[in-house]
Amino acid sequence: MANAMRTRSTVMERREARTAWLFTLPALVLLVAFLVVPFLLAIGLSFTDQRLIPNPRLPTEFVGLRNFQRILHDPVFLRALLNNFVFAGVVVPVQSALALVMAMLVNQKIRATNIFRTIYFSPVVTTMVVVSAIWFLLYNPTQGFINQFLHAVTFGLTGTIDWLQDPHTALLAIMILSIWQGAGFQMVIFLAGLQEIPQTLYEAARIDGANRWQSFRHITLTGLRNTTVFVIISTSILAFRLYDQVKVMTNGGPLNATQTVVYQIERVGFGQLKVGYASALTVVFFLIVLSITLLQRRLLPEERNV
């Protein structure tokens, strides 16, 4: 009897496993076709001088590590990589902190909470190209709302700022736009984490005489540890993928002040038709982002439920 039940259980488990693989198969096929295979092709092309439009007179040749050696002496790539690090170093902590504050605000039991949640989240569902085009108009040096607002609140003390054509302000302008557009996404994640923290912990803290800062530090931040790790890692990956804003607003200028690695890959691969070199840039950039992600996971360990 026991053997028959174990056999039946084994058969059911195998049947469930086959069913699970059957439902997973379409996603796996798409993942391999549009992610794994292209990346493997990029690795292979990175060792060649492949062009986007083949020339019969100039056949593709194997160049070994020449593309990677060129990257080390490419001033545009080095500037783009620096811009990516500066952008991520500012946007990730500021956007995450702003999202946490917004989540705590909309987590209060007040009227019209859903309206505020919708308002805060609405920029996220708007296409980045559309958002960039609107902010391009807001940054207009003569007729843009931002300069006019600064002029009004400072009673004319601020001059005309050419946000997108000044090398000192162009990247900052894109940072402000990106923080405003993406904070709502992290807010929703933090909000879900806040609602998982038992309210009894806060009540016990109040009984023990803890003030708001102590409750926030020892209960809220501790309870949001796993959520914070996820937010920081995902925001970092999105920050290093910076492209749309640069393409629409600055085209990498002025003087490469907003040049990013992804934008350079697109410009080299499709603008200059150098697919081999663009593939090498892709491989190097992937390894850099992967290393940063693994380092973040090491420095920001998650809590494990025992």
Q: How confident is the model at residue 152, as a pLDDT?
A: 87
pLDDT digits (tens, 9 = 90+) for 21-53: 888 999 999 999 998 999 999 999 999 999 988
Residue 286 confidence class, pLDDT cut points 50, 70, 90:
very high
Which 3 state secondary structure label does DSSP give 169?
coil
pLDDT digits (tens, 9 = 90+) for 14-26: 888 888 888 899 9
Residue 6 confidence class, pLDDT cut points 50, 70, 90:
low
pLDDT digits (tens, 9 = 90+) for 70-123: 999 999 999 999 999 999 999 999 999 999 999 998 888 777 788 888 888 889
The predicted model scores a pTM of: 0.88
Mean pLDDT of the chain: 89
Q: How confident is the model at residue 211, as a pLDDT?
A: 87
Arithmetic mean of pLDDT, 168-189: 94
Q: How confident is the model at residue 244, as a pLDDT?
A: 93
Decide if pLDDT at 306 tops 50.
Answer: no
Contacts 24+ apart (CB under 8 A), 237-242: 237/289, 237/293, 238/182, 239/84, 239/87, 239/88, 239/91, 239/92, 239/178, 240/84, 240/88, 240/285, 240/289, 240/292, 242/84, 242/87, 242/174, 242/178
Instruction: Give, in degrees to the nearest 5, the angle at Cα 182 between 176 and 183.
Output: 90
CATH code: domain 48-299 is 1.10.3720.10
pLDDT digits (tens, 9 = 90+) for 118-140: 888 889 989 999 999 999 999 99
The contacts of residue 35 (CB under 8 Å, 6+ apart) are: none
Decide if pLDDT at 207 tops 80.
Answer: yes
Which 3 state secondary structure label does DSSP give 167?
coil
pLDDT digits (tens, 9 = 90+) for 213-225: 888 888 899 899 9
Decide if pLDDT at 284 tops 70.
Answer: yes
Q: How confident is the model at residue 212, as a pLDDT?
A: 87
pLDDT digits (tens, 9 = 90+) for 226-247: 999 999 999 999 999 999 999 9
Which 3 state secondary structure label does DSSP give 190?
helix
Structure tokens that stand for 37 in this block: 């295979």
Domain range annotation of the chain: 1-45, 48-299
Rounded Cα distance between 268 and 75, Å, is 14
Residue 160 confidence class, pLDDT cut points 50, 70, 90:
confident
Rounded Cα distance between 82 and 84, Å, is 5
The contacts of residue 305 (CB under 8 Å, 6+ apart) are: none
